[in-house]
Amino acid sequence: MSKSRNLFFLLSLSVIFVLALAYNFADRNIAKLPPDPRTVNAQYDFDLRIIAAANAANAPLEGTGPLGLGRKALKQEIVAWDLEIAPDGTGLPVGSGSVSYGEEIFSEQCSVCHGDFAEGVDRWPELAGGEGTLADEDPLKTVGSYWPHLSTAWDYIHRSMPYGYAQSLSDDDVYAMLAYILYSNDIIEDEEFVLSNENFLDVEMPNANGFIIDDRDVTEYPLFSGDPCMKDCKLKVEVTMRARVLDVTPEDDGS
Ligand code: HEC
């Protein structure tokens, strides 16, 4: 009798031990939610704004489209989604944010994944560093080392970050966080720096000239878009070389 009681006691003890262990470790790898309720509400605000716009415009009911499905998007709805910011600054809203404020809100809302200094936590993306590595076998592509236009970063953060709470940041917050990311990348050295729509284009991105502009519409398209020659296209055909002689297949590592 006392043997089974002992066994029962031991078993309960190990169950309690395992539960305590699980309780302690269960949430270790889960990113914390942003503490700011603004962030959580913003997505609902966005939906409500769209619904309010539709109501205000007295939009026709669903099912009035050509196939009896949906309806035409309202101008206000398109405007709400159309957030594009161009490299020349077109679309940038009026606003500003300092490095120091950026650091504060970055550590609240971004650092859990991207690290306190934008260096990345575990496998989450690094946003800083990697300068001079683009020609390496294993380049580190970050906002600082790789992105040619600052506008892309503004647009991206404003549109899609923080991960899971997209479009919850105010325009000023985006300027501030971007100022901090520039600072973390040593692109801006001054801690007092304030990024705004006015000095936005003055920031020089290290890889600004690292991309080739796609000019195929001018250089290649005309070559392929004319009427094709279908008859007597070449008067005389002459064999000038043979693939075997040309040795078109590399034998060694291909370099
Ligand atoms: C829960 C984790 C998480 C949080 C919090 C978070 N991000 Fe991200 N971030 C990601 C992931 C994941 C990606 C990559 C997404 C992809 O490639 O589709 C990313 C990508 C980015 C990129 C582009 C990186 C690149 O080189 O492609 C930027 C810039 C960025 N985040 C900024 C921010 C900012 C600013 C905040 C705070 C407002 C933030 N993130 C909060 C997870 C997070």
pLDDT tens digits for range 45-95: 666 666 677 676 666 666 667 787 777 777 777 777 777 899 999 989 999
Q: Which two tokens stand for residue 33?
A: 């939610």
CA distance 207 to 143: 9
Q: Ligand 1 atom 20: the closest Cα is on which residue? A: 125
CA distance 62 to 71: 6
| Residue 86 · residue 151 · CB < 8 Å | yes
CA distances (Å), 37 to each of 30, 34, 43, in order?
19, 8, 11
Note the pLDDT tens digit of each residue in 101-133.
999 999 999 999 999 999 999 999 999 999 999
CA distance 6 to 9: 5
CA of 109 to the centre of ligand 1 (A): 10
**Torsion of the alpha carbons at 149, 151, 152 and 158, rounded to the nearest 10:** 160
Q: Which long-range contacts (CB under 8 A, 24 or more apart) does 119-124 make?
A: 119/184
Identify which of 205, 229, 209 has the alpha carbon closest to the alpha carbon of residue 142.
205
CA of 113 to the centre of ligand 1 (A): 7
Mean of all residue pLDDT scores within the chain? 85
Ligand 1 nearest atom to the CA of residue 34, by list position:
5
